[in-house]
């Protein structure tokens, strides 16, 4: 019996890459999975693979960026499996440009899929869990969001993507704080693995080893973490961002208040330079922006 036996999970962008790996591992651990993807063919292939291995899954192609349509994804889970325990917000896109070349369409397209997509489906799930909690029913809800190294430290030529992924981290913190009272946890993962978004850019770096050794960029390496977060075993773990690829896992340490200098009165602009220099010197240096 797997650690997700009896759980029902929605995975967005589950037709390929990381989402497909998550859906398959969740099913292998006993979860019933809604495989959501805008590509019906790849979603159906994922479901067929899950069913061939004895798991339970259904295809869903509703648009996560449309609030009403996202609600239909939750309804599909309830109609087919009778419950919902977890939402894995994995779907993503990218429109990489240097900042001075970025267009409004580039910005809006990335924000829609990442930030709005994370909001829409999680909103419907959270509202259901809140009603259940207020009715005195047991709730063991899970929201698993997807950030990235770009969201944690920035990435050259990805200001829209980095901003969206950074926003997802802040969203996760607020969801964690607000939804705990209803029995819901919210965490984020910042994974590395071969996906459609890395194709053509990182093919050489991420290619499987020719000697048949451990494939560190296999998306399946991240799936055990997602399965654990979906399971009841992760109860009490919330508001965290886990970085993972290959066999490596860590908990990210984000922005926090540093050392404070208090003058006890209003500062004059000319006074600030020396004090700010001292504070910067004492602060731990940030990780460099990717590509800088």
Measure Cα distances from 40 to 11, 36, 74, 149, 250 in Å.
Answer: 14, 9, 18, 29, 34
Pairing between β-strand 141-146 and β-strand 56-60 as defined by DSSP bridges:
unpaired
Strand partners, 290: 155
CA–CA gap between residue 102 and residue 168 (Å, rounded):
21
245 a catalytic residue: no
170 is catalytic: no
Considering 32, 147, 148, 155, which one is annotated as catalytic?
148
What is the rounded distance in angstroms from the CA atom of residue 115 to the CA atom of residue 124?
15
Active-site residue, selected from the candidate residues 24, 159, 161, 234: 161
DSSP sequence for 107-141: HHHHHIIIIIHHHHHHHHHHHHHHHHHHTT----E
- Is the Cβ–Cβ distance between 238 and 37 less than 8 Å? no
Q: Which of 22, 147, 159, 165 is flagged as catalytic?
A: 165
DSSP secondary structure letters along 155-222: BTTBHHHHHHHHHHHHHHHHHHHHHGGGTEEEEEEEE----TTTTTTSHHHHSPPTTS---TT-GGGT
Task: Compute the distance between CA of residue 143 and CA of residue 55 in angstroms, rounded to an integer.
Answer: 22
Is residue 148 flagged as an active site residue? yes
C-alpha to C-alpha distance for 53 and 233, rounded to whole angstroms: 24
Residues forming the active site: 148, 161, 165
């Amino acid at each position: 019996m797997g650690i997700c036996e009896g759980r029902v999970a929605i995975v967005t962008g589950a037709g390929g890459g990381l989402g497909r790996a998550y859906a398959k591992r969740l099913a292998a651990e006993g979860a019933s999975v809604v495989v959501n993807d805008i590509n019906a063919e790849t979603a159906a292939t994922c479901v067929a693979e899950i069913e061939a291995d004895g798991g339970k899954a259904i295809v869903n192609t509703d648009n996560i960026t449309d609030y009403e349509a996202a609600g239909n994804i939750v309804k599909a889970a309830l109609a087919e499996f009778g419950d919902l325990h977890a939402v894995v917000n994995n779907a993503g896109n990218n429109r990489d440009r240097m900042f001075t070349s970025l267009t409004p369409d580039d910005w809006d397209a990335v924000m829609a899929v990442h930030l709005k997509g994370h909001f829409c489906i999680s909103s419907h799930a959270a509202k259901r869990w809140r009603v259940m909690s207020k009715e005195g029913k047991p709730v063991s809800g899970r929201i698993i969001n997807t950030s990235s190294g770009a969201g944690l430290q920035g990435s050259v030529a990805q200001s829209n993507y980095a901003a969206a992924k950074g926003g997802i981290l802040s969203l996760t913190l607020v969801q964690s704080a607000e939804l705990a009272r209803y029995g819901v946890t919210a965490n984020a993962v910042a994974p590395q693995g071969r996906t459609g978004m890395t194709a053509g850019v990182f093919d050489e770096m991420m290619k499987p080893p020719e000697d048949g050794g451990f494939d560190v960029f296999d998306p399946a390496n991240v799936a055990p973490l997602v399965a654990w977060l979906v399971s009841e075993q992760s109860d009490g773990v919330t508001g965290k961002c886990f970085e993972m690829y290959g066999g490596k896992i860590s908990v990210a340490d984000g922005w926090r208040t540093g050392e404070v200098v208090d003058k006890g009165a209003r500062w004059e602009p000319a006074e600030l330079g020396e004090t700010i220099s001292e504070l910067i010197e004492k602060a731990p240096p940030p990780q460099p922006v990717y590509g800088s």
